[in-house]
């Protein structure tokens, strides 16, 4: 996030909020500003336009690890996706 924030010359909080606002499943974002300065910084995130590559990079680093049974189902089906070995 730091690299993207530096590229846009904004705070990391603005990048985090801009990423959330760009998520299709997010309809609203609740901010927890403790000062007027934080509030203004958070509101400024609505003006940050992240590129598709930046959104993809943020999606990748924030991806949660697979949980059971999802990872197990993928493992069980691995042999089905490989072509049979001819001897």
Q: State the pLDDT at residue 75.
A: 77
pTM, to two decimals: 0.73
Q: Phi/psi at 23 (nearest 5 deg)?
A: -75, 130
Confidence label for 73 from pLDDT (cuts 50, 70 and 90): confident
Q: Phi/psi at 27 (nearest 5 deg)?
A: -100, -20
Mean pLDDT across 21-45: 93
The length of the chain is 87
Distance of CA 71 to the CA centre of its chain: 20
Mean pLDDT across 45-62: 96
Mean pLDDT across 22-27: 92
Which residues does 63 contact at the CB level (< 8 Å), separation at least 6?
none
Q: In the chain, what are the domain boundaries?
A: 2-81
29-58: string of b/e by CB count within 10 Å (b at 16+)? eeeeeeeeeeeebbeebeebebeeebeebb
Average per-residue pLDDT for the chain: 89
């Amino acid at each position: 996030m730091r690299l993207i924030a530096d590229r846009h010359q904004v705070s990391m909080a603005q990048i985090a909020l801009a990423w959330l606002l760009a998520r299709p499943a997010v309809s609203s974002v609740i901010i927890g500003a403790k000062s007027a300065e934080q509030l203004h910084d958070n509101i400024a995130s609505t003006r940050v336009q992240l590129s598709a590559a930046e959104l993809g990079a943020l999606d990748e680093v924030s991806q949660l690890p697979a949980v059971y049974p999802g990872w197990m189902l993928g493992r069980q089906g691995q042999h089905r996706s490989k072509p049979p070995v001819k001897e």
